[in-house]
Amino acid sequence: MKFSLPHFLAFSLVAFGFAGCAIGPNYQRPVVAAPAFKEAGTWQPAEPAEHLPRGKWWEGYGDPVLNGLEDRVEISSNTLRIAEAQYQQVMAAVTSAYSGLYPTVNGTGSAFRNRTAAKGTAAGEIQNSFGAGLAASWELDLWGTVRRGLEAGRATADASRADLESVRLSLHAALAQTYFSLRVADTQQRLYDRTIADYARFLQMTKNRYAAGVATRADEATAEAQLKTAQAQAIDLSLTRTQLEHAIAVLLGQPPATFSLAPADLTVRPPVAPEILSSEQLERRPDIAGAERRLAAASAGIGIAQGGYFPVISLTGSAGYQGSSWNNLFSAPNEVWSLGASALAPLFNAGKVRAQVASARAVYDESLGAYRQTVLTAFQEVEDNLATANYLAREAAVQEEAVAASRRAASISLNQYKAGTVSYLDVITAQSAQLSTERTAAQLLGRRLNASVMLLKAAGGDWRAPGKF
């Protein structure tokens, strides 16, 4: 019977048909209990679904400037580019692993010209040798080791994709938080501009009263000290605002010197979380999906390690033509072929394979713990940020009352001072309290907005139903 490379490939495909099972455990996603949330609604266990679109959740704040900045993150962020490149590397590795399921076929070619040495009276000869053909080799995946490796590679690629989504979500959240902090600084800067103008007017009034003999030199000095203190605090606030602007520039992937944002007061309000969060919401967290996929890869790693107990069987073959003349190289007399098989069976390795299997099982146990802890941390973060949003909303309502009261107190104390019934120290105290309560109110709004961003991030993205916020 005549064998050639096609015969070899056909035999290999038949052998592949017997490799239908894979050693090692078949992966099953673990079940993690999901208790009811104390802060809002009841959540149920959910399957990771990091591929679900998160939508432009930042548009719910209704700030066009923020919307434009968030869109630029997808285009120019260096951090996002790094994560995307890492994902592409993993995908390339999966493609490489996939090739292990199939034979390797190579084309061969050779051309040699050599002279033999003279022997006795026989002169040396010049000889030509030409060759062309195909060579193939295949390591049979009888035990499923390659398939387990491919399974692990695909799970690792899914985890890398989840990491990419985590980076994307974190970038958008960080940009929103930094932007809101900058707007808080703008709002406080407007507050100080107004306060400084008032203090300058009060200082001039005190000087006039001192010139008229109805105020003391101490009143004038106290009013001046109050003005200078506010001016110094305003300068420090400008530094904070500048640093926040620089941070936004870096998040957008551009030098701080080329980026600026026009000042504007903070006018947006945090969105209201729904009374009951859908059980599907937790599926949107990419870190949970990534941890679960790494667990799947670790499960496949056990099968890969167990493959060390079994022999490695390889098939090799070649077919082609070899002759001394190129003109008639591809003729039947010059046809050559070979077909063979080899096996490498482990007989003694001093417990090396057993240790590798034990290590793979330990990696799986570690990944299982990491997955469960990731889910637990997710519930904590949602609880924390729901509580933060709830308590800060209540605090803001009380703070607004404090602002109104401090304004009334400052107005009353100033009128009493003009009437000569109180000292200027009472005016200073009331005005300082007003500035403090108004600045706290602005800071509190910023904290509420940042807490809402963290709640969105903790929930894995947008919680809105279509067309709602």
Predicted confidence (pLDDT) per residue in 284-321, tens digit: 788 988 999 999 999 999 998 998 888 888 888 888 88
Query: 174, 192, 308: which is closest to 247 by C-alpha?
Result: 174
pLDDT at 16 over 70: no
Angle between helices 145-211 and 78-98 (to 10 degrees): 180
Q: What is the pLDDT of residues 259-278, one digit of tens each?
A: 999 999 888 888 776 555 55
When pLDDT is averaged across residues 45-72 and rounded to a whole number, the result is 77
Which is more confident, 425 or 14? Answer: 425
> Binning pLDDT at 50, 70 and 90, where does residue 360 land?
very high
> Binning pLDDT at 50, 70 and 90, where does residue 396 land?
very high
pLDDT at site 238: 95
CATH number of 5-101+129-458: 1.20.1600.10
Query: 159, 100, 164: which is closest to 297 by C-alpha?
Result: 159
pLDDT at site 244: 96
Give the pTM. Answer: 0.80
End-to-end Cα separation, the chain, in angstroms: 76
Beta bridge partners of 133: 108, 320
Q: What is the pLDDT of residues 121-167, one digit of tens each?
A: 777 788 888 888 888 888 888 888 888 888 888 999 999 999 998 99
Q: What is the pLDDT of residues 273-286, one digit of tens each?
A: 655 555 566 767 88
Which token pair is 98? 């996939």
Q: What is the pLDDT of residues 153-207, one digit of tens each?
A: 899 999 999 999 899 999 999 999 999 999 999 999 999 999 999 899 989 988 9
Query: 348, 309, 290: which is closest to 24 by C-alpha?
Result: 309
Give the domain ranges of the chain: 5-101+129-458
Query: 189, 181, 187, 182: which is closest to 230 by C-alpha?
Result: 189
